[in-house]
Structure 1
């Protein structure tokens, strides 16, 4: 076998798992990939010692697990949550797990409410804390069309508008030439096109799962736009896909899916693996990419979901207008 043959075979297996979806997104996919030649190294012990990282939606599921894993690498984790009582419980868990008082701190913010985002960002900037990372993990899948306080469709407000505005406002806190922003997306986005002409989901019968997937499509299609926008600051932006992980949110929003795949769903730790790796590994992974199981992935696999440049420009113009930015 030639010297490069193991790596070539590893690549073929990895791509096959990714394109066939079901094996690659389950616990099997990660288990196989970890054993293939060329699996990227884990972050070093203490890789985030002395660093600050903010995580939205950190009271349960992947957000809670992300907070634990970042603190285990030495970070001070800022839990950005709507329910501060639950947030304080998670903070106490994190402190106890790492044996470090103050390893986690709680901040109140409703990411879907742009005024709440502005208030939180102002308070955080006033604290004068340098941010190594900002993880946009907060998510929801509403059964019926719901609007944010500013009148935007909820999934777009929570998954796109709030994160874009929060990052813009926190740019002064993000470490120059070191800050990393992660949008936690979903494999559901592969099924939907970018809703450039109807971002507010005003047309047709509303479906929560479709709205969720459309907003996640929006996240990944903004990667090149946001990468260029924040480049001069030296802040990198990434999206991570956790695979199919069992979480309270999945059980509640897609119970039939969760029950059917329960034997092969990933643990929360497996679901957060790539997010933590992107934040803590050196050198910084390539910005502007969608990552799954520590490898960059295509953002579209179906021709019908691949946006045109015009689609992306119109969608970004809507986002910028909604949050009060100049495109």
Structure 2
């Protein structure tokens, strides 16, 4: 079989896996796809480079810490609970003696805390400091609508507002040359860890809808629905970040550089993690034997940061090392007016400027 024919065949098979959901999202997907997907990152390719992982104290986040450490990165292990952060750092160091890990405590859903932590990290890294990557993996799913200290719905704050603010505040570090002895320099990458559940949700555009306040004609608050909607928002936000002129040109309001920073989103498939077990026990019971492990769920995010692959087209949503559509054929793309209203709400809520 010619290389061209083989490429067409694997592309078709990959698409069939993706559209089937069960095959593509479960452990079957990577078991087949690793036969043709892009090469693994080179060992030690992140030596001397820094990566921040939020939501790093369990499941996929903890697996990412281990994977980045294996590639030689200095990994900033960020979580809300200091005891859990210490536990993960100790366990990874035991498994990988010599791993360069930094304990970070920050509640991503509290915008004041995010601002303070970003300022502290910037001070600690000092002049010439740089980040190779940030993976926004922190997550929340609650049964009842809950508000943060700033009055925002919890899932929105943890999945969207906090990560957006963190990206904005750390953009100068991401735009700096992150080169190290293990690999090429250049700007860093930002990855939002979304979910395949985002396909079930559309983009809401009014402040009440975005914040999940009671709206006439809408169903009562559901943690699962709130999770899916905010995961859709993450994908739209990542696309919008790539459209920002300050990221493309490096000219930022108030000065600073962000040119060349890559902003992506991805979903992990169906992975066996504490979050799935605790939040979706019925799904875990039925699908348990088919769920992929946490390392497989973490793979694409790690690969994106380590290799900075070229994005295809105008979208930057990935799964199993391949760009994926952000909507299925039966779905409509969010209209530009709704998208702009959403972006304006994010900017207003975080006190940032959206170019």
TM-score, normalising length: structure 2? 0.88
Aligned-pair distance for 1:95? 2.0
Change (3 A) 1:93 1:3: closer
RMSD: 1.5
Aligned partner of 2:266 in structure 1 is 240
Write out per-residue CA displacement over residues 49-98 of structure 1, whole angstroms, 9 at most, x where no aligned residue.
Answer: 01100010111011111001000000010011111111011112222222
Aligned partner of 2:90 among 89, 92, 111: 92
Aligned-pair distance for 1:34? 1.2
2:229 matches 1:214: yes
2:210 matches 1:199: yes
Distance 2:321 2:88 in 1: 27
Write out per-residue CA displacement over residues 87-130 of structure 1, whole angstroms, 9 at most, x where no aligned residue.
Answer: 011112222222115x1111111001000100100110001242
Distance 2:94 2:170 in 1: 29
Work out the number of aligned pairs and report it: 324
Distance 1:283 1:12 in 2: 21
Partners of 1:49 and 1:73 within 8 A in 2: yes
Partners of 2:311 and 2:323 within 8 A in 1: no
Distance 1:282 1:191 in 2: 28
Write out per-residue CA displacement over residues 146-199 of structure 1, whole angstroms, 9 at most, x where no aligned residue.
Answer: 111111111111100000000100112214342100000000000010011210
| Partner secondary structure for residue 77 of structure 1 | strand
Aligned-pair distance for 1:32? 1.0
Aligned-pair distance for 1:302? 5.3
Identify which range, 258-267 or 273-282, moves more after superposition: 273-282
Aligned partner of 1:113 in structure 2 is 110
Aligned partner of 1:154 in structure 2 is 154
Matches within 5 A, 1:1-327: 1-36=1-36, 39-100=37-98, 103-128=100-125, 129-176=129-176, 177-197=186-206, 198-202=209-213, 203=215, 204=218, 205-229=220-244, 230-231=247-248, 232=250, 233=258, 234-281=260-307, 283=309, 288-301=315-328, 303-304=330-331, 306-327=333-354
Partners of 2:262 and 2:308 within 8 A in 1: no
Aligned-pair distance for 1:303? 3.9
Partners of 1:181 and 1:236 within 8 A in 2: yes
Distance 1:22 1:305 in 2: 23
Distance 1:283 1:191 in 2: 27
TM-score, normalising length: structure 1? 0.95
Partners of 1:43 and 1:282 within 8 A in 2: no
Distance 1:316 1:282 in 2: 25
Gaps of 5+ in 1: none
| Partner secondary structure for residue 117 of structure 1 | helix
Write out per-residue CA displacement over residues 201-247 of structure 1, whole angstroms, 9 at most, x where no aligned residue.
Answer: 11230111000000000011122211122232121100011000010
Gaps of 5+ in 2: 177-185, 251-257
Aligned-pair distance for 1:284? 5.5
Aligned partner of 2:182 in structure 1 is none
| Partner secondary structure for residue 174 of structure 1 | helix
Partners of 1:239 and 1:289 within 8 A in 2: yes
